[in-house]
A = this chain, B = another copy of it.
Amino acid sequence: MDINGVRRILNEKDNFTILTHISPDGDTLGCGFALCRFLRSMGKKANVINGDKVPHRYEFLCEGYYPQEFEEECVVAVDIADAKLMGDALKRYQEPGAVDLCIDHHISNTGYAKETLLDPTAGAAAMIMYEILSGMGEITKEVAACLYTGISTDTGCFRFENTDSRAHMYAANLIETGIDFYTINRKMFELKSRNVAAAERAIVSQMKFYLNDKVAVNVISLDTLKKYGVELAELEGIPSVALTIEGVAAGVTVKEKAKGTYKISVRTTDELNASRICSDFGGGGHIRAAGCEIKGELCDVIDKVVAKISEYI
């Protein structure tokens, strides 16, 4: 489906349920609340539903939001590549035919929705949402803040290779509405509690280097989380730390999910393909950031990942 098709649906229908993905990030929530606010300003009814709670840092996106009552007429999924990513709480929307429209930028989109607007060249789904909405009416400051958040988070504040001139052009237009992008970016990329900062330092001070210092590994144990009183989700800055060290081509973060079960996150520079490394363990993701799960003793798990990386280095 193309942009005009999406605009037609948004114009024709009146009562929308908007779905965002679990472990919500700035792009899915930015898209969801931008669309919801825009539809409501058109006099339509719309709700945003997520299987997880909105994390603290993203709460400003739903400021003034309240759930509305209506008979669902159109279900729109934003930034959701796979119906499974709606999570167990939204199982009913995982049924075939439950989602009317999907707006996404993941090349891996499974095509679960009746209609899909997919633009894998967009660094953020919020860029596609900007294109849709800016052709339908005025982008208010509130909507602009949501869209900017999506673009900024998914492009790493215009640093990642997925940033293109479109991302900058849309940002230029969005900040013209007077949004407080300084505070948005501080919330997205900088602000952390003293506990989180202390936990990060403790973890990174134990960083281990392998393969001539080309690989750096950070371990987040359940004990560390407990000691500093922080949640795993609060330590999302850790995976990017290893790649800030000169000479490191692969940064591995080993997160203890439960005793003997580890979630592995791999970040790479252009020397290595993170997705390929993780897919050998049944995981996957992007070229520069991917993940997988491995069971076993911590030292064996690290050995396995490092050995796998050594095959590709």
A→B interface (CB under 8 Å): 157-161, 163-169, 171-173, 175-176, 181-182, 185-186, 189-194, 197, 201, 204-205, 209, 213, 243-246
Known A-B contacts: A168-B169, A191-B245, A192-B245. Give 8 more (CB < 8 A): A157-B158, A158-B181, A163-B175, A163-B181, A164-B175, A165-B173, A165-B176, A197-B204
Contacts of A243 in B (CB 8 A): 190
Chain A residues touching B, majority SS: helix
A191 touches B244 (CB 8 A): yes
A191 contacts which chain B residues (CB < 8 A)? 244-246
Give CA–CA (A186, B197) in the complex, Å: 22
Residues of B contacting A165 in the complex (Cβ-Cβ under 8 angstroms): 172-173, 175-176
**Bound state CA distance, A159 and B160, in angstroms?**
15
Point out the residues of chain B lying under 8 angstroms from A157, CB to CB.
157-159
Complex Cα gap A213–B163 (Å): 37
Give the copy number: 2
- The answer on a CB contact under 8 Å between A168 and B163 is no
Q: Which residues of B contact A182 (CB under 8 A)?
A: 159-161, 163
Question: Given B159, B166, B175, B190, which contacts A185 in the complex, CB threshold below 8 Å?
Answer: B159
- Per a CB cutoff under 8 Å, which of B175, B181, B185, B246 touches A192? B246
Q: Of B185, B194, B246, which one neighbours A193 at CB under 8 angstroms?
A: B246
Whether A197 and B245, one on each chain, are in contact in the complex, defined by CB atoms closer than 8 angstroms, is yes
A190, A209, A213: most-surrounded residue (chain B CB, <10 A): A190
Q: What separation, in Å, do the CA atoms of A164 and B182 have in the docked complex?
A: 11
In whole angstroms, what is the CA distance A43 to B163 when docked? 34
Specify the chain B residue showing the minimal Cβ separation from A164.
B175
Bound CA–CA A157/B168 (angstroms): 12
Complex Cα spacing A158 to B160, Å: 13
Query: 17 A-B residue contacts at CB 8 Å?
Result: A157-B158, A158-B181, A159-B181, A159-B186, A161-B182, A163-B182, A165-B176, A168-B171, A168-B175, A169-B169, A191-B246, A192-B244, A194-B213, A197-B204, A197-B244, A201-B201, A201-B204
When A and B form their complex, which 3 residue pairs have the shortest distance between CB atoms, in order from nearest? A168-B172, A165-B172, A190-B244
A300 nearest CB across to chain B (Å) = 26
- With both beta carbons as reference points, the residue of chain B lying nearest to A170 in the complex is identified as B168
Contact partners of A160 in chain B: CB under 8 A: 182
Query: Shortest distance in angstroms between A193's beta carbon and chain B's nearest beta carbon?
Result: 5
A245 touches B169 (CB 8 A): no
